[in-house]
Chains A and B, each alone.
Chain A
């Protein structure tokens, strides 16, 4: 009896302790993650300016998305962004990692140096690059002048045909070091004996890369692509907002910037919410598709 009472007083059984330890996280998570997520689903089914009473309109917002040229344009830009970013970051990141792996002097300092842009904010990165791209006295056009390539000088962020690609370059510049560091750690788990044996068998550099490096790095590459996928879809607001604000004439509009404009300039909370969930659905489907493709290619291998 006495021990039972002390046990209740001490309250040290797993379930009670767990409840107490999880309570703060549960409150924080429910209030600022779960509740907004569910509430947004409801908002996306209404017509709402954010102040008056919301009017339930079913899936009308989602139907409207399918015919909204600006949204579809933003989605197309978004997809170009995702594909090019994933491709460039991983190919160039792996390339840089191989260079670092083959270097013998100053490897640590060089690795640290290429990582520096990762620590900068998108705001700082964006401002830096808006000077580099400046058509009048920007670094890039000045460099082209210096190389005798003045014909290639452009209004890098003002030309609707190339502004999106200019932004993609900035994003790749910022994250290259991050991917290189991850890939370098992966490369260093490959034993040198494998390369040595291949060299003795007469395999050249290209063959060694194709038959040793690439297959052994595949798991790391796949994890990088999966982890980078949702970020490539949604983490582009900052850089676009700072560099072009979606312009010129929506040429660099992505879903996130269009969503924020719809909500806070047009005051259309329901429609903006629907964009968020439509994007989430596309991200989730892409993830499933990518995982399926990977599983199939694994079976073939």
Chain B
């Protein structure tokens, strides 16, 4: 969306006396005063956003004493042992594995279940379709958090407390309504002729879904995956309720437990935080164009 803005936005009229105000053309009509103000304020926002993250990185390389004595400055040396120590003490390897298992299982299940449902609700004609659609929309308006207690009870009755697969299923279920809704809008945007042609050639619905439709709604699948990933990977609430066994804790739960268990090992906390958040930030920075394009496309669509 963003990336095409120059083609959407009508071109700016040439200012008169272009030669006299040549810098106005250079600055796209902004005065120097305006630009100073804009970039001054943006600089404040950037410092407020990025300095805390930089602080974590710099703190993760300081010694325990240095963290307290030298709050602002850069580390005197590189205390890399913070990382090996934090990795070992906080059990980061196991936490990452748990988070990967939970998130991957939940996303796979979500896509596998939501895609055919969204296809049926957008392309097939059958009785009760509108009732089911209304149910999907109603479910989107119910925040799953308010039914945390009965959800916990149901999970307990099924023997799925302290189960990574169990919590993955819950994540898939609570992301289901929104995902079906998003995918359905992508299916609806495809022309019907496409499907009719494949039908005449004798393809079954399942073949059409798999071979014709899926490649075309890939942006929709990506959007659902991105939303789901942020939600599930970062989840604290459900994991707090359902993963009581320390060995099964995901990254967010493990970080908090580590923080609450060990008194004042700030340098280790910084290292643990850096190790677990930097990979996500790097992936985001690499994919940010697609990421933000998908997000704004979704917002504009709704």
Q: Decide if A and B are genuine partners.
A: yes
Q: Which residues of A contact B (CB under 8 A)?
A: 10, 12, 14-15, 17-22, 24-26, 28-29, 31-37, 39-40, 43, 50, 96, 99-100, 102-104, 108, 110-124, 126-132, 136-137, 139, 142, 146, 173, 176-177, 181-182, 184-185, 188-189, 191-193, 196, 223, 227, 230-231, 233-235, 237-238, 241-242, 256, 259-260, 263, 269, 272-273, 276-277, 279-280, 283-284, 287
Partner of A104, one of B28, B51, B170: B28
In angstroms, how far is the closest chain B Cβ from the Cβ of A98?
Answer: 9
Name B237's closest neighbour in chain A (CB-CB). A237
B52 and A181 form a contact (CB under 8 A):
no
With A28-B169, A110-B42 in contact, do A196 and B280 touch (Cβ < 8 Å)? no
A182 and B68 form a contact (CB under 8 A):
no
With A111-B292, A120-B234 in contact, do A100 and B42 touch (Cβ < 8 Å)? yes
In angstroms, how far is the closest chain B Cβ from the Cβ of A194?
Answer: 10
Name A282's closest neighbour in chain B (CB-CB). B146
B117 and A188 form a contact (CB under 8 A):
no
In the docked arrangement, what's the CA distance between A18 and B177, Å? 17
A280 and B284 form a contact (CB under 8 A):
no
**Which residues of A have CB within 8 Å of B113?**
24-25, 28
A103 and B38 form a contact (CB under 8 A):
yes
In the docked arrangement, what's the CA distance between A36 and B148, Å? 9
With A182-B296, A276-B146 in contact, do A192 and B9 touch (Cβ < 8 Å)? yes
**Which residues of A have CB within 8 Å of B194?**
none
**Which residues of A have CB within 8 Å of B266?**
131
Q: Mark B270-281, 1 if CB is under 8 A from A, else 0.
A: 000100110011
Partner of B42, one of A103, A137, A276, A284: A103
Does B61 have its Cβ within 8 Å of any Cβ on chain A? Answer: no
Interface centre among A103, A118, A122, A127 (most CB of B within 10 A): A127
Within 8 A of A (CB), among B1-32: 1-2, 5, 8-10, 12-13, 27-28, 30
B147 and A116 form a contact (CB under 8 A):
no
A272 and B149 form a contact (CB under 8 A):
yes
In angstroms, how far is the closest chain B Cβ from the Cβ of A134?
Answer: 9
In the docked arrangement, what's the CA distance between A279 and B259, Å? 31
Partner of B154, one of A15, A35, A50, A108: A35
In the docked arrangement, what's the CA distance between A188 and B170, Å? 38
Name A17's closest neighbour in chain B (CB-CB). B205
Does B230 have its Cβ within 8 Å of any Cβ on chain A? Answer: yes
B9 and A188 form a contact (CB under 8 A):
yes
In the docked arrangement, what's the CA distance between A73 and B73, Å? 42
